[in-house]
Amino acid sequence: MFNYGEPDYANIVVGNDHLNDTIVKHKITEATGYFIYGAYNVVSVVVLLNMLIAMMARSYSIIEVSVTMIAVIAKYAGHDFC
């Protein structure tokens, strides 16, 4: 499911003319498939980057609150960490 797709996966061969031995290619359907697959890849990368940024921002805010609380406790306890 998460492997790279082979280039011939998008080839669609339907309705071949067996009388004349010609292969009917569906260029519009193949182009649409390539476009949708490419759009899916781009959107998935953007969503994953957005999730990464959100997780990093949340981690930073948690650490910032913890450091602030430690600094306040240390101030009232008489310790000087700075």
The tokens for 5 are 């797709």
pLDDT at 82: 55
pTM of the entire structure?
A: 0.57
* Confidence at residue 73, expressed as pLDDT on a 0 to 100 scale: 85
Structural domain for 52, as ranges: 7-77
pLDDT one digit per residue (tens) for the chain, 82 residues = 456 666 666 666 566 666 666 666 778 888 898 899 999 999 999 999 999 999 999 998 889 888 888 888 888 887 666 5
Residue 2 lies in a domain: no
Residues contacting residue 24 through CB under 8 Å, at least 6 positions apart: 13, 14, 15, 16, 17
> Could you give the CA distance from residue 77 to residue 29 in angstroms, rounded to a whole number?
72
Residue 53 lies in a domain: yes
SS3 of residue 53 by DSSP: helix
1 inside domain: no
Q: What is the pLDDT of residue 20?
A: 66
In the numeric block, which tokens belong to residue 20?
């004349």
Q: How many domains does the chain have?
A: 1
